[in-house]
Amino acid sequence: MIRTGRLHHAAIRVSDLERSRKFYEEVLGMRQTPRPDLGFPGAWYALGDGQLHLMQRPKLDAPVDPTDPHVAVEVEDYEAAKQTLRERGIEFFELGPQLWIRDPDGYTVELRRKP
């Protein structure tokens, strides 16, 4: 079993980043937080201890697309998490210190190495 920690972020795909930024900033009063250059438009917002990530990017043709709407949780032991996924035959996509998987209903979940 994978031991999870806190919710790190929730991420959603948006069709018009500027329109969405106006909504989250002007209607909901959120403030942007720094975001690295990921090669596609987006914005990150701090929410307490977590974040909301907006992504403007077409869907990738991949078994697990890290730009799909998802929740991200920290895992206690990153290598043990990978081993558990392999043992259970769960396909994952790894990029840096993150693993992306699909739950039984097809929702994307990001498993993150604790900082």
For 7-50, what is each residue's pLDDT tens digit?
A: 999 999 999 999 999 999 999 999 999 999 999 999 999 998 99
Strand locations in 14-41, DSSP E? 32-33
pTM: 0.83
CATH number of 4-113: 3.10.180.10
Q: What are phi and psi of 66, to 5 degrees?
A: -65, -10
Q: What confidence tens digit (pLDDT) does each residue in 49-108 have?
A: 999 999 999 888 888 899 899 999 999 999 999 999 999 999 999 988 999 999 988 999
Tell me how far apart the alpha carbons of residues 92 and 89 are, in angstroms, rounded to a whole number.
9
CA atoms of 73 and 31, how far apart (whole Å)? 22
pLDDT at position 63 is 84
